[in-house]
Structure 1
Amino acid sequence: MAAANICSNLATETKCRSTLKDELTSKKLVSLFAAAKSGQAQASVCNIVSSVHPDAAGVLRQECIKLVGKCVGISDNKETQAQVRLVHKMMISCGWIDYMLEEFPKLLQKTANGCAEKCDTERTRDNMLSGKKRKVKHGVKVSVKSNRTSGKKTSFSDDYTVSVSIAWQLKDLLKHSDTCKAVMGLKSLESAVNALKVISEFNIMECMQCDYINNLHVVAYTSLSHRMSVKNHDLKNLEKTIEHVVNCIEKVYAASASRNKVTPCSIANMVKLSTSILNFIIDSSTLNRTRECEQRCLSFTRKYVGFIMLNLRQHSHGLLEFKEEDLKETFLCLKSSFTYAAKLLNLVLTSSSESSPPSHEAHNLANDLFDLIISVEEHLGSKYGSLVFSAAKLWLPDLILALRSLQIQKPLPSPSSLSSSSSAFGKTKFGFPSWLSILAKIEIFDLQESEPDDADDKLTLSSKFSTFRKIVETTVEHLRNNQSVLDAVGAFLLSGSMVGLKKKDYELLYGVLCFVCVKLMKHENAEWVDLKLMLESVRQLYPLIEAAVNEAESGDEKKLLESARSLVEPVWRCYIHEEMKGNMETDFCDC
């Protein structure tokens, strides 16, 4: 190591390079490399070769190819990463990069074969246990016989570890234009992609059972697929890759819901893999994807968010016992996922128009992301709530526009159509948005806190929801700066209060109306005058509240209904009743 460092320092001196180049004969280079026992020492030798370019450098080619093929633990080791980059630098400077890259598909194929064999073994075992054969679909068929790598037999674990390092190297090489060009020009590139496809599918399908699963294969596979699609202008190939990884991981979401035991490690695996797929979806937006693919991406993202919220609840109930360090690492991925999901909404909204509005799924995903903010704060605490706020506040305008997008998709509702006001939530896969329910409870809770009454039946909150309160405050600021967006989102909120009325959830009805009529709008400032969507909602809502008040017996329910009526009655009388009376007078005069 000391000799290597001396040579490295000499190599930086221009006047010493020529002498050093002559001194580094084949024999000396072999001896120097053999004496370098550690990876750091061997990388130093490679650095010398990169700087000096000795004529005898060719004797090290095979040794360096072996070196990049056996580095382990590279994904989590910055020092090893730096060393491997020095080897790559030497390979490029000596013109050997193609030789090195040709070894990668062989090593990946070996692991892919092992994945296929492992799946076959498990399938055979399951068939024996069940007493009947079950057909299992594999996305890719792997020929185990034709792709055997010669040499001594290694374990699947060893091969898998090597493939992780190859995946990391491919990902790293694609970041730089010169090495990316070399990778994309690889003759056996398709073989490498097919092998990564098999390993990626194995990783996804096994991530809930195997702790050793790594997401780098998926990153390398999707990155190569994206680059190939851009290079060949092949949108179909890109969408096939999206469909492949999304279809695989959605199967795992579905299966995990019925699993008796889910470990923190398996959840961490799923979050990393899902985040990698979301990242790929965002990166692939450089190509003009079809509307069907866009819809597919939104649907996948919603299922992922649903998976996260389900497991956050399990964590808070003690069914998942994350160590603090593991939770921090997983949460960083979750925070990135939130950003990618919001970015997807941004891309969908940007590509839409009045003639081609975004699908319902954009609106529903916005609701899911608001729910996720609440879920993080409620189940992980205020510390993590504040961290997700730092990501959410940057994308809040997009979430608001996505909520508004539902109103772009339909004309002003007629009295008959709005009687089913829950249509705003009819296509919401995970049910009524929990954030609206929490919003209503916060409004009622705050009103109770300001009252001197110390009744025992006061509403309680499962959290202070300080982060969500900040989100709401910022949302109000954004809405009050744009009247058309305010009108659309306000109408959506009023449809939520209509759901409360229909379900006889009068806390939901009253709480949402408190927010709309007190915090969002100011009746006394004549702010309702041009809000057509919101006024149409009130036109339908007020008579139904009036009828419910008349039917209700005395008690808390009647009190809530009367309070709800008192909030919308001024708006009804000022803007709607007077208009209706004026129309009636006009009709009378015409007669």
Structure 2
Amino acid sequence: MLTAVLKFMADATAMCFSPHNNGLFLNYTSKCIQHILSSLNQLCHNKTQFEEEDKKNTIFCLKSSFTYAAKILNVTLPDSGESSITTSKAFTLANNLLDLIVSIESCLGSAYASRLVAAASPWLPDVVLALVSPSVLQQTDSGSEHSSASEQIKLNFPKWPLVVAKTMLLSAVNEDEGDHECSHPDKYSAFNKLLAMLIILLKKNRSIRDAIGDIFLVCSLVGLEQRDFKLALGLLQFVCSKLFNHDDRDWGDMMLSTLQEIYPKIERGRAEHTNDDELEKLTQAKNLIEPLWMYHRYESGKVNMTDD
């Protein structure tokens, strides 16, 4: 039923029947995806056993739902103009779609999630544009939209950054152990394939990479504020080793603005740590970004030590 509703809305937006309702369509589409996420999470929590035929039917419907939702993004984004409401709704929907992929992989397994990733890959540019749309609007507006995107993340923290952080930390453990056969298997291999596509896509556009990189940094900042140092460290590892090379100092202005908040919080966290594990993770995080911080503070002058 939800798939049929999404198809109707995708067709309606494509034919421009109601362009003034784009924000409403985006919001309702997000609600549909959130309902699917809630149902999947409930099934996983109850450890519901799926028959193979049920899995095939489920993934077929979910692939269709993802495609229709992405089509709605594709049509509405160019018409968003300077509407902060539309960009905010698009940002939420993009996060919901990424959460859908990781939830399917967690619930149904990587083989079925790979089918969704294959269907999602042509729409990845639209998802990326939806994620960065609040930041792009901020660059031409008063500056309030960037904080709005940050607030959205803080109020409704998505699931997919948690998965990124977890897989980065797991990868580091495997490397430290010299684990060529990988005794810690990659639970989210399908989602990681999508991330690999994302990295390739971002390297083609520095301004978009800056905006996406800033989303990862804001999520890392949330980890620091909530004392979830695994989240903070894992996302910093992703930014410093995947989005950029370790010795790459060419971060954009948005990322440097958030770095200016992150580094002092890491320093304070190290001073206030309550156990050795916290200190270790905060020290690793500091070591990752300290060369960049020192360069931009003392040479480029683009960052300064700030107070809360």
CA distance in 2, matches of 1:419, 1:390: 33
Asked if the contact 1:421/1:499 (under 8 Å) is kept, the reply is no
- Helix, strand or coil at the partner of 2:250: coil
- Quick one: which amino acid aligns to residue 552 of structure 1? H
Structure 2 residue corresponding to 1:568, chosen from 272, 285, 289: 289
Alpha-carbon distance change, 381 to 581 in structure 1, aligned in 2, over 3 angstroms: closer
TM-score by length of 2: 0.87
In structure 2, relative to structure 1, the CA distance for the partners of 1:304 and 1:522 (3 Å cut) is same
CA positional deviation for 1:308: 1.5
Q: Deviations over 1:75-104 (max 9, x none)?
A: xxxxxxxxxxxxxxxxxxxxxxxxxxxxxx
When normalised by structure 1's length, the TM-score is 0.47
Hey, what does 1:452 align to over in structure 2?
Answer: 177
Corresponding residue for residue 7 of structure 2: 279
Distance in 1 between residues matched to 2:303 and 2:223, nearest whole Å: 31
Give the equivalent residue in structure 1 for 2:197: 474
2:209 to 480, 483, 486: 486
Flag the 1:550–1:424 CA change in 2: closer, same or farther, 3 A.
Answer: same
State whether residues 523 and 570 of structure 1, in contact with CA within 8 Å, keep that contact through their aligned partners in structure 2. Answer: no
Is the Cα–Cα contact under 8 Å of residues 389 and 467 in structure 1 kept in the other structure? yes
| Whole-angstrom distance in 2 between the partners of 1:473 and 1:493 | 15
1:108-507 equivalent positions in 2, closer than 5 A: 273-285=1-13, 286-291=15-20, 293-318=21-46, 320-353=48-81, 355-356=82-83, 358-411=86-139, 422-426=150-154, 431-452=156-177, 464-507=187-230
In structure 2, distance between residues paired with 1:551 and 1:321: 45
1:453 shift after superposition: 8.7
Q: Is the 8 A contact 2:6 2:68 kept in 1?
A: yes
Q: Within 2, Cα distance between the matches of 1:412 and 1:551? A: 39
Tell me if 1:510 matches 2:216: no
- Which letter does structure 2 place at the counterpart of 1:518? S
- Does the residue aligned with 1:409 lie in a helix, a strand or coil? helix
C-alpha contact (below 8 Å) 2:256/2:303 kept by paired residues? no
Contact 2:104/2:112, CA 8 A, preserved across alignment: yes
* 1:156-191 Cα shifts (integer Å, max 9, x gaps): xxxxxxxxxxxxxxxxxxxxxxxxxxxxxxxxxxxx
| Contact in 2 for aligned 1:377/1:467 (Cα 8 Å) | yes
Structure with greater contact order relative to length (CA < 8 Å, sep ≥ 6): 2
- The amino acid across from 2:283 in the alignment is E
User: Is 1:534 aligned with 2:262?
Assistant: no
**Separation in 2, partners of 1:547, 1:363:** 31
CA distance in 1, matches of 2:145, 2:38: 34
Q: Counterpart in 2 of 1:578?
A: 299
Q: Is the 8 A contact 2:41 2:107 kept in 1?
A: yes
CA distance in 2, matches of 1:452, 1:440: 19
AA partner of residue 289 (structure 1): S
Name the counterpart of 1:70.
none
SS of corresponding position for 1:410? helix
Distance 1:306 1:493, change over 3 A: same
Write the distance in 2 (CA, Å) between the matches of 1:335 and 1:556: 41
In 2, the alpha carbon distance for the partners of 1:361 and 1:283 equals 19
Residue 94 of structure 2 contacts residue 130 of structure 2 at CA under 8 Å; is this kept in 1? yes
Aligned amino acid, residue 159 of structure 2:
S
SS at match of 1:287: coil
Mapped contact 1:422–1:495 kept (Cα < 8 A): yes
Instruction: Find the aligned partners of 2:83 and 2:141 in 1 and give their Cα distance.
Output: 19
The answer as to whether partners of 1:491 and 1:537 remain within 8 angstroms in 2 is yes
1:352 CA drift (Å): 2.4
Local SS of the residue matching 1:347: helix
Give the RMSD, CA atoms, in angstroms.
Answer: 3.0
Structure 1 residues 572, 414: closer, same or farther in 2, change over 3 A?
Answer: farther
- Give per-residue Cα distances to partners, 1:469-488, cap 9 Å, x unaligned: 10111100001110110011
Provide Cα deviations, 1:216-264, integer angstroms capped at 9, x if missing partner.
Answer: xxxxxxxxxxxxxxxxxxxxxxxxxxxxxxxxxxxxxxxxxxxxxxxxx
Q: Is the 8 A contact 1:422 1:499 kept in 2?
A: no
Q: Are residues 561 and 582 of structure 1, via their aligned partners in 2, closer, same or farther at CA, if it must alter by over 3 Å?
A: closer
CA contact (8 A) 2:166 2:234 kept: yes
> Would the aligned equivalents of 2:296 and 2:302 in 1 still touch at CA under 8 Å?
no
The residue aligned with 1:519 is 242
Q: Distance in 2 between matches of 1:274 and 1:320?
A: 21
Matches of 1:421 and 1:549, distance apart in 2: 28
Question: Residues 513 and 465 (structure 1 numbering): CA distance in 2 closer, same or farther, change over 3 Å?
Answer: same
Counterpart of 2:5, as a letter, is: I
Check whether the contact 2:99–2:159 (CA below 8 A) recurs between aligned residues.
Answer: yes
- Structure-2 change in CA distance of 1:400 and 1:421 (3 Å): closer
Deviation at 1:468, TM superposition (A): 0.7
Structure 2: gaps spanning 5 or more residues: none
